Structure 1
Amino acid sequence: MSRIGKSPIPLPEKVAVSLQGLSVTVKGPKGELSRTLPEGVSISQVENTIVVTPDNQKRKSRERHGLCRSLVANMVEGVSKGFTRRLEIVGVGSRAQVKGKTLVVNAGYSHPVEVIPPEGITFKVENNTNVIVTGPDKELVGNEAAKIRAIRPPEPYKGKGIKYQGERIMRKAGKSGKK
């Protein structure tokens, strides 16, 4: 049995959960999220906790047990606290700014790249080089951060590009000098 799946999910005060079979809807101060869980697990609410249990001891049920518990726990955390992902832009002349809701990134191309956020995701820029992606859905926040990073991934020689905050770039030696 999954160690992660065994532990119950505590519900904060301002979070409401509605369960209908395998579909879960979580409402909180940061928004509302809903998801349909895969077959093989059952979900129930016991007082102020949510418990995910496998339907049987078949391999598929055991595989999905921890996954479903993590998905629901991320939904609960997202609507109560929210998720953030920070990116750093490294390089001369590379910068970002927010126009309305759209993020405009100048990353060394001949044109600025515009990123339009999906519903529920917000962009914020600090010091023209630090981009903060926030939202209640962990999956969406991570995907949008990955899309921004993919505009210009960091290169291994000088480290220029867009990287996650705290990401370590493996550096390569450049050309060797003449003898």
Structure 2
Amino acid sequence: MSRIGKQCIVLSKAVNTQIIGNIITVKGPKGALSHNIHDLIKISLSNNSDSKTIIVTTKNSTKQAQQLHGLSRTLINNMVIGVNEGFTKYLEIQGVGYRSQVDGRKLILNVGYSHPVVIEPPSEISIKVNNNTNIEITGIDKAVVGQLAAKIRSIRPPEPYKGKGIRYKGEVVKKKIGKAGK
């Protein structure tokens, strides 16, 4: 049995949840998210006197149901956190002449190519740039925020000799030593 799946999800007062069949919809101050849960997983909403909780259980004890148990609980928990607080990823650009800027909703990156790279974020994502080198990606869906951050990083990943490129904030890049000169 999944240890993560056994934990119940406590909802705050600002979050409303609706379960219709296998579709769970979570609404909060930042927005609304919905997800279709697999048939092997059962979701129940319990109203206590002071708080509401979501309990995720399996319908049977097959291997696939056990695999989906913790995953489903984590996805629902990320939805609850997203509509309540939101998710943020921070990226840093390092390199001489490398910079970024926001034009309307578009992110424009100048990272050593012969042309600027333009990225159009999804409608539910907001991007801010600080000091031309720090990028902040914010949204309510954890998967979409992480995917956009990975896409931006993949445009110019940090290289191991000088460390130039786009990296996550706090990411450590192991540097290699260069050619030995004679």
Query: Normalising TM by the smaller chain, what interval?
Result: over 0.9
**Distance in structure 1 (CA, Å) of the matches to 2:105 and 2:13:** 31
Q: Please state if 1:34 is matched with 2:38.
A: no
For structure 1, the residue ranges without an aligned partner over 5 or more in a row are none
For structure 2, the residue ranges without an aligned partner over 5 or more in a row are none
Structure 1: 4+ residue segments shifted above 3 A = none
Counterpart in 2 of 1:108?
Answer: 112
Counterpart in 2 of 1:4?
Answer: 4
Which of the numbers 142, 152, 156 marks the counterpart of 1:152? 156
**Distance in structure 1 (CA, Å) of the matches to 2:62 and 2:179:** 56
Counterpart in 2 of 1:163?
Answer: 167
Q: CA deviation at 1:39?
A: 2.3
Deviations 1:82-131 (A, max 9, x none): 00000000001101111101111111111111110112100000111000
**Distance in structure 2 (CA, Å) of the matches to 1:29 and 1:113:** 33
One-letter code aligned to 1:104: I
Counterpart in 2 of 1:57?
Answer: 61
Q: CA deviation at 1:150?
A: 0.8
Count of residue correspondences:
178
Counterpart in 1 of 2:75?
Answer: 71
Secondary structure, in 3 states, of the residue corresponding to 2:112?
coil
**If the length of structure 1 is used for normalisation, what is the TM-score?**
0.98
Which of the numbers 134, 141, 146 marks the counterpart of 2:145? 141
**Distance in structure 1 (CA, Å) of the matches to 2:111 and 2:29:** 35
One-letter code aligned to 2:5: G
**Distance in structure 2 (CA, Å) of the matches to 1:12 and 1:112:** 44
Secondary structure, in 3 states, of the residue corresponding to 2:179?
coil
**Distance in structure 2 (CA, Å) of the matches to 1:110 and 1:34:** 41
**Distance in structure 2 (CA, Å) of the matches to 1:145 and 1:6:** 31
Query: What percentage of aligned pairs have identical amino acids?
Result: 54
**Distance in structure 1 (CA, Å) of the matches to 2:22 and 2:95:** 47
Secondary structure, in 3 states, of the residue corresponding to 2:118?
strand
**Distance in structure 1 (CA, Å) of the matches to 2:169 and 2:157:** 13
